[in-house]
Amino acid sequence: MDSKPLLAVLDLGTNTFHLLIVAPEGANGFRELFRERRFVKLALGGIEHIQPDAWQRALEALKYFREVIDRYGCTDVRAIGTAGLRTADNADAFLELIRRETGIEVEVINGEREAELIFKGTRLAVPMAPGRHYLIMDIGGGSVEFIICNREKASWAQSFPVGVAVLRRRFHHREPISEAEIAALRAFLDQQLAPLRQAIAAHDGPLQLVGASGTFDVLAHALPARPLGAHAWAVPRSHMAPLVARTLAATLEERLAMPEIPEARADMISVAFVLLQYVLDLLPQTEEILVSEYALKEGVVAEWLERVTSF
């Protein structure tokens, strides 16, 4: 048992539920005590409604997380719900069940707040250079957040309903994904991401892409990566193309057998790579993709540390 105040952060994403437990350490940092994720795939049957099997997977994960939180004796618990819980028509009933079964109160946040927390978490991991500007991208199951920023502040941020669960259900019906499906997906992104293209075009100077966790973790572990710190890496853009080509040419069975692709991501990684390649096409000067292990959860931690320490 730790005598310091502890924080438990639950990030209830559309695909993945996360638990992070931390304690303050020093004047400006934290010590990680526990981290785990469970792939619950809330939107497997469609993001508009949480199906019974997804409901059960999510509840089992949260009951387990509750046991861990109690074991650590956490003094503060923050549970954040994102796109899947913003969108589902039975989310209110699901949140009430969570409250009744686990005692966990979930705060469902909008896309703008989600982007703000992702920015605060990412800059804890990625050493952002003075005078440089970055495009942070967080690929979720239900939504994707983009933030244009420097190391001090974000100048533009927006959340788009183009998460990988949405894209897979709408566009990926054949195995492997077909050229026609890829073309339709990219045409959809042309429509949905018009504000992103406008923001990039209006920005004065180059933007460095920073990917926050999820799909980007796959790249950082599958490809030669240059460490930027304990929780960030740089992946050469040129190294990505062969992996993307092999993935898009593979059936689900073949993707499940690929050592570079985690089993739980094999179903949605094809549309994730199409989405990532689309964004990279908007950033022709980007030679490296920076990968942050930190994202929303650590953004919640950053705000908490402001209250409990001099951080």
Residue 21 maps to which CATH number? 3.30.420.40
- Strands 7-12 and 208-212 come out as unpaired
pLDDT attached to residue 1:
45
Between CA 248 and CA 113 the distance in angstroms is 33
pLDDT at 26: 80
Residue-level pLDDT at 6: 96
Residues of the chain where predicted confidence (pLDDT) is lower than 70: 1-3, 310-311
Task: Give Cα 28 distance to the centre of its chain.
Answer: 24
Q: Is residue 276 part of a domain?
A: yes
**Residue that finishes a domain, picked among 109, 124, 159:** 109
Q: What residue numbers bound the domain in which 154 lies?
A: 112-296
Which of 49, 80, 109 represents a domain boundary (last residue)? 109
How many whole angstroms separate alpha carbon 114 and alpha carbon 293?
16
**141-166 as b/e: b if 16+ CB within 10 A:** bbbbbbbbbeeeebebbbbbebbbbb
Note whether 88 and 194 are same-domain residues.
no
CATH number at residue 129: 3.30.420.150
- 102 shares a domain with 24: yes
Q: Are residues 218 and 259 in the same domain?
A: yes
**pTM of the full structure:** 0.96
In a domain, 205, yes or no: yes
- What pLDDT score does 27 carry? 74
Please give the tally of structural domains in the chain: 2
Q: Tokens 């402001």, residue?
A: 306
Q: Does residue 86 come out as left (phi exceeding 0), alpha (psi in the -120 to 50 range) or beta?
A: alpha
Q: What is the 3-state secondary structure (H, E, C) of the chain?
A: CCCCCCEEEEEECCCEEEEEEEEEECCCEEEEEEEEEEECCCCCCCCCCCCHHHHHHHHHHHHHHHHHHHHHCCCEEEEEECHHHHHCCCHHHHHHHHHHHHCCCEEECCHHHHHHHHHHHHHHHCCCCCCCCEEEEEECCCCEEEEEECCCCEEEEEEECCCHHHHHHHHCCCCCCCHHHHHHHHHHHHHHCHHHHHHHHHCCCCCEEEEECCHHHHHHHHCCCEEEECCEEEEEHHHHHHHHHHHHCCCHHHHHCCCCCCHHHCCCHHHHHHHHHHHHHCCCCCCEEEEECCCHHHHHHHHHHHHHCCC
Of the three residues 68, 92, 109, the one that is the final residue of a domain is 109
Residue 305 lies in a domain: no
Distance of alpha carbon 147 from alpha carbon 115, whole angstroms: 7
Q: For position 311, what pLDDT does the model report?
A: 40
CB-CB neighbours of 50 under 10 Å: 25
Identify whether residues 79 and 127 lie together within a single domain: no
pLDDT value of residue 310: 54
